[in-house]
């Protein structure tokens, strides 16, 4: 079953009833003059088990401890946003797999050569997917990108990821002086938002696969709690880039994160991707990727299963 992404951008009161998320407007909850029948009809009810990611984007959202417990027990990711509507926090379940301890040990015992090989696979696929996006958007073959992808060595020792990124961002958007920078000009705002949603999806599936999102195969910032998520999401980033490219191409105002823009970016978990020769929603594909990563740690596989554009 494809899990849903729920976005709540207005003041709301979130509670739990019969294992379902109940969404109410605060003014309805507080108004004692309204009948119980009217209050009941004004509710929105969502089955907890259907929710993969829930985004909370309003300072006047009230959520009960029971809702948080139910969401985490069902392996949902809870994303909170700041005053600029940018995702700023991520809550994940502590235990997502029945053989958690064993899986942690395989991950902790992974050798440096194995991690370097996995990072090589990751960057090779990322550059190939970036080349595919450039081809889709421009109709021209990008031989240099394909060459760089083929030349990626263990651990990406020559940092071809950075060389490819410089070329990629220079040629993807037809926007003067655009560079990829978190604080840069639009559409950096769209990319930041999209990557945050993608990161939540990847982190959630890592936990479900019994892995620690903190311990990366390449990223190792001591202040980053999601190094492994940042590693594994790399080949998926081009899907977000293509979506942002399409938003711009459709003439939508992208100078700010409007409701229309956010609605499109919240569709990232349901984007069609091709993995292992089959089409699949991105969220399902990420689950296959994280499951294969665990098998690489345990010695059952030698390659991570990544999507190919």
CA distances from 25 to 51, 237, 264 (A): 20, 35, 24
Across all residues in the chain, what is the average pLDDT? Answer: 92
In angstroms, the CA 252 to CA 37 distance is 41
pLDDT confidence tier of residue 99, bands split at 50, 70 and 90: confident
pLDDT confidence tier of residue 41, bands split at 50, 70 and 90: low
Mean pLDDT confidence for 263-289: 96
pLDDT attached to residue 221: 79
By C-alpha distance, which of 192, 187, 196, 189 is closest to 5? 196
Higher pLDDT, 85 or 292: 292
- In angstroms, how far is CA 305 from the centroid of its own chain? 17
pLDDT reading at 32 higher than 80: no
- In angstroms, how far is CA 135 from the centroid of its own chain? 24
């Amino acid at each position: 079953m494809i899990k849903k992404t729920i976005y709540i951008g207005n003041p709301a009161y979130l509670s739990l009833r019969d294992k379902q998320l109940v969404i109410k407007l605060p003014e309805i909850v507080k108004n004692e003059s309204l009948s119980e029948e009217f209050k009941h009809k004004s509710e929105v009810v969502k089955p907890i088990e259907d929710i993969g990611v829930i985004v909370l984007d309003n300072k006047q959202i009230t959520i009960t401890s029971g809702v948080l417990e139910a969401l985490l027990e069902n392996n949902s990711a809870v994303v909170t946003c700041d005053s600029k509507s940018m995702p700023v926090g991520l809550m994940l379940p502590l235990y997502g797999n029945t053989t958690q301890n064993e899986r942690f040990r395989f991950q902790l015992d992974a050798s440096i050569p194995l991690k370097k090989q996995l990072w090589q696979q990751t960057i090779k696929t990322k550059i190939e997917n970036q080349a595919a996006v450039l081809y889709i958007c421009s109709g021209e073959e990008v031989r240099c990108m394909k060459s760089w992808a083929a030349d990626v060595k263990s651990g990406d020792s020559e940092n071809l990821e950075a060389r490819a990124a410089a070329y990629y961002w220079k040629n993807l958007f037809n926007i003067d002086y655009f560079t990829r920078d978190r604080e840069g000009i639009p559409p950096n705002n769209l990319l930041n938002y999209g990557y945050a949603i993608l990161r939540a999806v990847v982190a959630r599936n890592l936990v479900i696969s019994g892995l620690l999102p903190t311990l990366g195969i390449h990223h190792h910032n001591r202040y980053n709690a999601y190094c492994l998520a940042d590693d594994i999401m790399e080949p998926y980033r081009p899907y977000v880039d293509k979506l942002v490219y399409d938003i711009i191409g459709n003439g939508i105002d992208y100078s700010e994160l409007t409701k229309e823009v956010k609605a499109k970016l919240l569709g990232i978990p349901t984007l069609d991707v091709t993995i292992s020769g089959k089409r699949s929603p991105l969220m399902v594909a990420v689950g296959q990727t994280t499951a294969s990563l665990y098998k690489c740690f345990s010695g059952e596989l030698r390659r991570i299963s990544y999507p190919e554009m």
